[in-house]
Protein backbone atom coordinates (compact mmCIF):
# COMPACT_ATOMS: atom_id res chain seq x y z
CA UNK A 1 0.00 0.00 0.00
CA UNK A 2 1.45 3.36 -1.07
CA UNK A 3 1.18 6.21 1.39
CA UNK A 4 1.02 9.62 -0.26
CA UNK A 5 2.01 12.57 1.95
CA UNK A 6 -0.33 15.56 1.90
CA UNK A 7 1.06 18.94 2.97
CA UNK A 8 -1.88 21.33 2.85
CA UNK A 9 -2.58 24.77 4.29
CA UNK A 10 -6.29 24.03 4.87
CA UNK A 11 -8.82 21.21 4.91
CA UNK A 12 -10.06 22.27 1.49
CA UNK A 13 -6.52 22.25 0.10
CA UNK A 14 -5.99 18.74 1.51
CA UNK A 15 -9.21 17.55 -0.15
CA UNK A 16 -8.06 19.14 -3.40
CA UNK A 17 -4.72 17.33 -3.27
CA UNK A 18 -6.38 14.00 -2.43
CA UNK A 19 -8.90 14.56 -5.22
CA UNK A 20 -6.06 15.16 -7.71
CA UNK A 21 -4.56 11.76 -6.88
CA UNK A 22 -7.91 9.94 -6.82
CA UNK A 23 -9.04 11.51 -10.09
CA UNK A 24 -6.14 9.91 -11.97
CA UNK A 25 -7.41 6.48 -11.00
CA UNK A 26 -11.10 7.27 -11.41
CA UNK A 27 -10.46 8.69 -14.90
CA UNK A 28 -8.57 5.49 -15.72
CA UNK A 29 -11.65 3.35 -15.01
CA UNK A 30 -11.17 2.56 -11.34
CA UNK A 31 -14.29 2.69 -9.17
CA UNK A 32 -14.32 4.22 -5.71
CA UNK A 33 -15.36 1.98 -2.84
CA UNK A 34 -15.16 2.46 0.89
CA UNK A 35 -13.45 5.56 2.24
CA UNK A 36 -12.03 5.99 5.73
CA UNK A 37 -11.12 9.37 7.19
CA UNK A 38 -8.47 10.05 9.80
CA UNK A 39 -7.64 6.38 10.42
CA UNK A 40 -5.35 6.19 13.45
CA UNK A 41 -5.89 9.96 13.69
CA UNK A 42 -3.61 10.86 10.77
CA UNK A 43 -4.43 9.15 7.47
CA UNK A 44 -7.23 8.73 4.94
CA UNK A 45 -7.76 5.50 3.02
CA UNK A 46 -9.72 4.95 -0.19
CA UNK A 47 -10.54 1.54 -1.62
CA UNK A 48 -10.59 1.37 -5.42
CA UNK A 49 -11.45 -1.48 -7.77
CA UNK A 50 -11.15 -2.17 -11.47
CA UNK A 51 -12.26 -5.44 -13.02
CA UNK A 52 -11.01 -8.03 -10.50
CA UNK A 53 -8.22 -5.80 -9.14
CA UNK A 54 -8.49 -3.98 -5.82
CA UNK A 55 -6.21 -1.42 -4.26
CA UNK A 56 -6.14 0.98 -1.33
CA UNK A 57 -4.74 4.47 -1.59
CA UNK A 58 -3.54 5.93 1.68
CA UNK A 59 -2.88 9.60 2.36
CA UNK A 60 -0.66 10.76 5.23
CA UNK A 61 -2.15 13.95 6.68
CA UNK A 62 0.22 14.55 9.60
CA UNK A 63 1.74 17.65 7.97
CA UNK A 64 -1.71 19.09 7.23
CA UNK A 65 -3.68 18.37 10.41
CA UNK A 66 -2.39 21.40 12.37
CA UNK A 67 -3.76 23.65 9.58
CA UNK A 68 -7.33 22.30 9.67
CA UNK A 69 -9.80 24.76 11.15
CA UNK A 70 -12.44 22.05 11.52
CA UNK A 71 -11.49 18.37 11.30
CA UNK A 72 -15.18 17.35 11.18
CA UNK A 73 -15.69 19.38 7.99
CA UNK A 74 -12.59 17.75 6.49
CA UNK A 75 -13.83 14.30 7.49
CA UNK A 76 -17.24 14.77 5.87
CA UNK A 77 -15.84 16.31 2.69
CA UNK A 78 -12.98 13.85 2.27
CA UNK A 79 -15.27 10.83 2.58
CA UNK A 80 -17.21 11.97 -0.50
CA UNK A 81 -14.22 12.42 -2.82
CA UNK A 82 -14.77 9.14 -4.73
CA UNK A 83 -18.27 10.24 -5.72
CA UNK A 84 -18.68 11.82 -9.18
CA UNK A 85 -18.67 15.61 -9.01
CA UNK A 86 -18.09 15.71 -5.24
CA UNK A 87 -15.10 18.04 -5.42
CA UNK A 88 -16.94 20.48 -7.67
CA UNK A 89 -19.78 20.57 -5.14
CA UNK A 90 -17.25 21.30 -2.39
CA UNK A 91 -15.73 24.09 -4.48
CA UNK A 92 -19.17 25.61 -5.12
CA UNK A 93 -20.01 25.55 -1.42
CA UNK A 94 -16.66 27.17 -0.59
CA UNK A 95 -17.06 29.94 -3.16
CA UNK A 96 -20.73 30.75 -2.51
CA UNK A 97 -22.17 32.71 0.36
CA UNK A 98 -23.86 30.62 3.05
CA UNK A 99 -27.49 29.83 2.10
CA UNK A 100 -28.93 31.65 5.12
CA UNK A 101 -27.15 34.87 4.12
CA UNK A 102 -28.63 34.76 0.61
CA UNK A 103 -32.13 34.13 2.00
CA UNK A 104 -31.89 37.08 4.38
CA UNK A 105 -31.03 39.48 1.54
CA UNK A 106 -33.84 38.12 -0.61
CA UNK A 107 -36.25 38.66 2.27
CA UNK A 108 -35.02 42.20 2.88
CA UNK A 109 -35.29 43.00 -0.83
CA UNK A 110 -38.79 41.51 -0.95
CA UNK A 111 -40.03 43.68 1.94
CA UNK A 112 -38.43 46.82 0.48
CA UNK A 113 -40.25 46.23 -2.82
CA UNK A 114 -43.53 45.56 -0.99
CA UNK A 115 -43.07 48.75 1.04
CA UNK A 116 -42.46 50.83 -2.09
CA UNK A 117 -45.52 49.34 -3.81
CA UNK A 118 -47.74 49.97 -0.77
CA UNK A 119 -46.49 53.55 -0.51
CA UNK A 120 -46.94 54.19 -4.25
CA UNK A 121 -50.42 52.71 -4.68
CA UNK A 122 -52.14 53.34 -1.32
CA UNK A 123 -50.42 55.87 0.87
CA UNK A 124 -49.36 58.32 -1.84
CA UNK A 125 -52.89 58.65 -3.22
Total Cβ atoms within 10 A of residue 11: 24
Question: What is the pLDDT at residue 124?
Answer: 59
Residue that wins the pLDDT comparison between 80 and 5: 5
Residue 91 lies in a domain: no
Q: How far apart are the first and last CA of the chain?
A: 79
Report the C-alpha gap between 15 and 35 in whole angstroms: 13
Claim to verify: residue 71 and residue 105 sit in the same structural domain: no
Structure confidence at residue 35 as a pLDDT band (50, 70, 90): very high
Question: What is the pLDDT at residue 95?
Answer: 77
Taking only the tens place, the pLDDT of each residue in 48-65 is 999 999 999 999 999 999
The pTM of the full predicted model, rounded to 2 decimals, is 0.72
Report the C-alpha gap between 50 and 34 in whole angstroms: 14
67-92 average pLDDT score: 84
Residue that wins the pLDDT comparison between 72 and 57: 57
Mean pLDDT for the chain overall? 85
Claim to verify: residue 103 and residue 77 sit in the same structural domain: no
Residue 113 lies in a domain: yes
Claim to verify: residue 79 and residue 18 sit in the same structural domain: yes
Residue 102 has pLDDT above 60, yes or no: no
Residue 106 has pLDDT above 60, yes or no: yes
Residue 19 lies in a domain: yes
Claim to verify: residue 25 and residue 48 sit in the same structural domain: yes
Distance (Å) of CA 102 to CA 7, 66, 94, 112, 114: 34, 32, 14, 16, 18
Question: What is the pLDDT at residue 100?
Answer: 52
Residue 90 lies in a domain: no
Domain that holds residue 39: 3-84
Amino acid sequence: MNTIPIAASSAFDACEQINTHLKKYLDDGWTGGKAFALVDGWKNQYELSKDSMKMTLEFDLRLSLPNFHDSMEFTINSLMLCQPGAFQIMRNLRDEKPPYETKIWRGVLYWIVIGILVWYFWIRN
